[in-house]
Amino acid sequence: MAASDTKNNLARDEIDALRMELASLRARLERAEAATVISEAMENSSEAIVIYDEDGLLVACNRNFRELYGYTEEEASKGVHFAELGRIDVERGNVVIGDEFGDGDDYLNRKAEYRKTLKGSFVVQLKDGRWIKTVDRRMQRGGFVSVQVDITDVKKNEQDLRDAKEAAEKAAQFKSEFLANISHDLRTPLNAIIGFSELIQSEFRGPLGHEDYREYVADIKDSGHLLLSIVNDLLDTAKLESGRLHLVCEDFDAIGCSEEVVKRIRPITSKKHLNLSISKDANFPEVIPADRRATIQVLNNLIANAAKHSEDGADIGIHWHVPEPDSVAVTVSDTGTGIAPELIEKIGDPFLQEGSYAVHPGERGAGLGLYICTKLIAAMGGRMDVESELGEGTRVTMVLPTNCSGPGYAGSDAAG
């Protein structure tokens, strides 16, 4: 019996051992199956996923993670610390450090601090311009899983919202300045017209044949021209702001165009006995392609401004030249009062008047002339360069492309 019991006990022990081995094998198989499922899920995910253990060592990652940062399989292999991957990012310039992180070390320290707490998320921009948001979550058995999400579209939408807000604020400011300025600018010539008309009507100086009435009529005429100029500027500004200005590309004689403008503003230049000269370089073409009306309007504003800022008997030059291939330019130069350095960068802002190049004291306007110039030049695809020195004079250059590629032309790529 004793021998039989011993055999039975041995058999039971062997069965128990076999049972335990089978259970262990089953557990290993289940873990392997689970690992396979997790691995397949990671590889099939559209996001970049990486798993680290409690020491920050890489356990597993998917192909998207390696491709996102340009890691080789050896670099992003099991056992690599996340800090080492961060150093690779900095050394290769995979990420844009920028002002937010100071330098590469600060970036790595900030990321390490985030990994300690795993609170919130960590956002970084890649060298190709994409924005990536990293969200890490701890696992029950230690370690953490890290998911990298492309949020470029979200960032773009945020920037679009900021731009829209800024544009709305600028529009509100523009309206406020418009109302503040235009109420005065319209009232001044209207008061002059009404006032001098009442003086004439009441025969303040006696019968209408009195010589003073001629001056009153001249003042009424000047005020009427100023009022018309302001209204025209307002209409042009409204067209520019609403996008209803459509340019027409045509070939025209730039010199003839300049002569037309000089003739138009002769009443201003004659009073001050100004000497205006029109010239061009030897290689300047006979005709240029652009919007003739817009070019005349810009020239009119630039030459009129030069005339207003020149002393009696001064010289004003209008010179056409070819500054670079596929472009033409005209420079209007004067020896007038010049522009203060802090105001040069503001040239083209609406309602720029007080102490600026826009007008002389006593020669008010809506302050929209140079604003309209910059808008028209931009619509023609060009640019306006300003050089000036106080007490020495100013040079304003309009540069235009010769292919009529500006956004204001009908049918242009920029317009579409």
**pLDDT score recorded for residue 7:** 57
> Per DSSP, what are the bridge partners of residue 276?
316
Is residue 378 predicted with pLDDT exceeding 80?
yes
**pLDDT score recorded for residue 363:** 45
Between CA 67 and CA 213 the distance in angstroms is 86
Tell whether the torsion through CA atoms of 124, 127, 129 and 130 is positive or negative.
negative
The DSSP secondary-structure symbol of 357 reads S
Kindly report, residue by residue over 142-177, the tens digit of the pLDDT: 899 899 999 999 999 999 999 999 988 887 777 766
Between CA 416 and CA 410 the distance in angstroms is 9
Q: What's the CATH code, domain 45-150?
A: 3.30.450.20
**What's the residue count for the chain?**
416
Is residue 328 predicted with pLDDT exceeding 90?
yes
Is residue 336 predicted with pLDDT exceeding 90?
no
Place of tokens 């604003």: 371
List, in sequence order, the alpha helices (H) in 45-151: 63-69, 82-92, 98-101, 104-117
Is residue 244 predicted with pLDDT exceeding 60?
yes
Q: Which residue has the higher pLDDT, 287 or 175?
A: 287
Quick one: residue 118, left, alpha or beta (phi over 0 = left, psi -120 to 50 = alpha)? Answer: left
Q: Which is nearest to 90 in space by CA: 74, 76, 78, 101?
A: 101
CB 110 within 8 A of CB 127: no
Is residue 32 predicted with pLDDT exceeding 60?
no
Rg (CA), the chain: 38
Mean pLDDT value of segment 174-190: 67
DSSP string, 277-312: EEEE-TT--S-EEE-HHHHHHHHHHHHHHHHHTSPT
CATH architecture for segment(s) 245-416: 2-Layer Sandwich (3.30)
Is residue 27 predicted with pLDDT exceeding 70?
no
Kindly report, residue by residue over 70-126, the tens digit of the pLDDT: 999 999 999 999 999 999 999 998 888 766 666 788 888 888 888 888 888 889 889
Lowest mean pLDDT among 49-53, 236-240, 309-313: 236-240
Lowest mean pLDDT among 35-39, 73-77, 153-157, 271-275: 35-39
**Close Cβ partners of 46 (under 8 Å, ≥ 6 residues apart):** 64
Burial of 108 (C-beta count, 10 Å sphere; 0-12/13-18/19+): middle
Is residue 211 predicted with pLDDT exceeding 50?
yes
Q: How many CB atoms lie within 10 A of CB 286?
A: 9
* Domain 155-240 and domain 245-416 have a common topology: no
Between CA 97 and CA 106 the distance in angstroms is 9
Between CA 46 and CA 192 the distance in angstroms is 73
Is residue 334 predicted with pLDDT exceeding 80?
yes
Burial of 190 (C-beta count, 10 Å sphere; 0-12/13-18/19+): middle
CB 274 within 8 A of CB 307: yes
- Specify the long-range contacts of residues 220-229, CB closer than 8 Å, at least 24 apart: 220/192, 220/193, 220/196, 223/188, 223/189, 223/190, 223/192, 223/193, 223/196, 224/189, 224/193, 226/188, 226/189, 226/364, 226/365, 227/186, 227/189, 227/190, 227/193, 229/365, 229/366
Q: How many CB atoms lie within 10 A of CB 407?
A: 15
**pLDDT score recorded for residue 13:** 64
Between CA 151 and CA 26 the distance in angstroms is 42
Strands 275-280 and 315-321: parallel
In words, the CATH class of domain 155-240 is mainly alpha
Domain ranges of the chain: 1-34, 45-150, 155-240, 245-416
Is residue 237 predicted with pLDDT exceeding 80?
no
> Per DSSP, what are the bridge partners of residue 316?
276, 334
Q: Which residue has the higher pLDDT, 379 or 4?
A: 379
Is residue 51 predicted with pLDDT exceeding 50?
yes
Is residue 358 predicted with pLDDT exceeding 50?
no
Lowest mean pLDDT among 16-20, 129-133, 294-298, 299-303: 16-20
What is the enclosing helix (H) or strand (E) of 406?
none
